[in-house]
Structure 1
């Protein structure tokens, strides 16, 4: 008899991403923008040119990020002021985006350029930080292409796409409310994340055509992982990283499809 496949709250398989959409040029004011929706999580990501680089930066350009969850993104209503969690997440987003750009080449005719990527969560159902990274890279890429097209940049400084996804060890809930043995699951929604035995966020960078690693696989940029209910094994970590890599390959394909809609 074939063993039943663990069912998730939204009937996905353990290795399946949530429904994903990326809508580029979602706003007109920003140099680059995208609305990313993954499941019920929605994040508006914009990339804007700043007039100057940080004072401590001697050469090249700079990329930073800001992250906020709008009060109505959760129930009950959240608070508008920045929290320690928000600051930690925006540092993660900034580090991730800088890994995808040669900052030494982010220089225009008048010197280094600075770009700030704003990530505002409209609705939250888990994975807001990973969705923000994936969406912010698309907004940033649109901005960089426009800067090249307008001769503000001589060459495109991109090193490859950057995307992120959550993965965890979660016990599937049965029809009777009982939990089965924990298994590795990709792209956790809030309900899964809240009862995960292990929670992992993975950021990876791909390469541009002709510049991929020898095996063509994306490389790790950052891994954030915690055993929420004890420890976890090396084998479980390897399984989660395998799931994350496969999911990120899909995310990068979606990023490219979104960019194909943009006329730059």
Structure 2
């Protein structure tokens, strides 16, 4: 039995609240268990000076001091930089950057992921939520004529999987909370892109925290991740449908 009573392959309770803030072009609050991340997408009419064509997508990640106990440090460190690079890579896999171009040239979109409350899985929640904020922003850019066509390729979502000792026996568990993650023998973060007929791997980050792990264990972890991400992709679609309905009511 898991700490919160879930099955070994069960996701934590999930909610995606689009339009959580007004100023950013796209925003969503994602809550997965006790982890909450505010994801926003903002557009800039310029691209990095080294970029020769197309547009660009990047991300910034921060954990607010009060997101953990004891209080965290507001200054970002190496872990934050590594996570925001992962988020940026994941989001760029969802978009054809060559088509992220407006009438006056390439556009840049910055996706900010601010962890309000941390209970494990903050990087994977950030990716799942940031894609929704990004998609809302892209649709608004098309509607406003700043993009002639939607540059999206496919949705992106991510989830954690781990091997944790449960009642003295190693078990593969999906979507680890902090108490599980802190005891994990193996820790895996999986990013996948939704495609017709299934999903394709974008990135896998895996570590044997307290030893090695077998190929069959890795296969089981990936099976769990793929099934969990299928549920996350469905939740993303529902959140976008809610965002569209809200826009239509305001129109």
Q: Which residue of 2 aligns with 1:235?
A: 216
Cα deviation, residue 197, structure 1: 0.6
Unmatched 5+ stretches in structure 1: 1-6, 173-178
Task: Answer yes or no: is 1:54 the counterpart of 2:35.
Answer: no
Cα deviation, residue 77, structure 1: 0.1
Out of 14, 26, 35, the position equivalent to 2:8 is 14
CA RMSD of aligned residues (A): 0.6
Task: Answer yes or no: is 1:64 the counterpart of 2:52.
Answer: no
Task: Answer yes or no: is 1:194 the counterpart of 2:172.
Answer: no
Cα deviation, residue 50, structure 1: 1.4
Deviations 1:55-93 (A, max 9, x none): 000000000000000000000000000110000000000
Q: Which residue of 2 aligns with 1:175?
A: none
Q: Which residue of 1 aligns with 2:129?
A: 135
For 1:174-253, what aligned pairs fall within 5 Å after superposition?
A: 179-207=167-195, 212=196, 216-253=197-234
Distance 2:63 2:14 in 1: 20
Cα deviation, residue 217, structure 1: 1.3
Task: Answer yes or no: is 1:170 the counterpart of 2:151.
Answer: no
Deviations 1:132-182 (A, max 9, x none): 00000000000000000001001100001000000011111xxxxxx3211
Distance 1:262 1:203 in 2: 24
Distance 1:31 1:141 in 2: 10
Out of 15, 23, 31, the position equivalent to 2:25 is 31
Unmatched 5+ stretches in structure 2: none
Distance 1:16 1:191 in 2: 16
SS in 1 for 2:191: strand
Out of 89, 97, 111, the position equivalent to 2:91 is 97
Q: TM-score, normalised by structure 1?
A: 0.92
Q: Which has the higher strand share?
A: 2
Distance 2:44 2:4 in 1: 41
Distance 1:50 1:71 in 2: 28
Out of 60, 79, 96, the position equivalent to 1:85 is 79
Q: Which has the higher helix share?
A: 2
Distance 2:187 2:243 in 1: 35
Cα deviation, residue 37, structure 1: 0.1
Q: Which residue of 2 aligns with 1:111?
A: 105
**Contact in 1 for aligned 2:45/2:106 (Cα 8 Å):** no
